[in-house]
Amino acid sequence: MRLNMGSKPVWDCIGGFVDPGENHRETMERETSEEAGLEARQAFEVDGAPLNANRAFFVADSAAGEGVHIFAMELDLRSSDIVMNKDSSFEFQGTLPGLKKEATIRFFEWREAVWLTPCALTAAAISRLLAHVL
């Protein structure tokens, strides 16, 4: 949840900036570990041109691979690990290989996720993932 998008926390994707000497995959693995406590070696890059996070302030040449890259992971979950909450949302209550710290993992139906986030990058990531799986 990010506190920099208004007066109350919002659900958002994991993300961050590339550190000097890192490539996009290394950045994704580091940020996923820092923000979610997950090892993300099995993540894959979703097809599509890199995104420009804010064209008013950033210059990104997508033809050169610059910009926001979107990665996804498939989690191996058992149905017994997912519990429906009173509000009809789903919450993961099992264990995941590679989970390095105690974390709350909540699942959203994709339509709800699109409506819940004020972040254009999260909405774009959801649409790219849908294009990949459908």
pTM for this prediction? 0.74
What are the residues whose beta carbons fall under 8 Å from the beta carbon of 34, sequence distance 6 or more? Answer: 16
Q: Confirm whether 11 is domain-assigned.
A: no
Q: Confirm whether 122 is domain-assigned.
A: yes
Is-contact 5 123, C-beta < 8 A? no
Closest CA to 121 of 21, 11, 30: 11
Parallel/antiparallel/unpaired status of strands 82-84 and 71-72: unpaired
Q: Confirm whether 18 is domain-assigned.
A: no
Q: Provide the residue range defining the domain that includes 58.
A: 24-133
Q: Confirm whether 9 is domain-assigned.
A: no
Per-residue tens of pLDDT for the chain, all 134 residues: 566 677 777 777 888 999 999 999 999 999 988 887 788 888 999 999 999 888 778 888 888 988 999 999 877 666 667 777 787 677 777 666 666 656 566 677 778 888 888 888 888 998 999 999 88
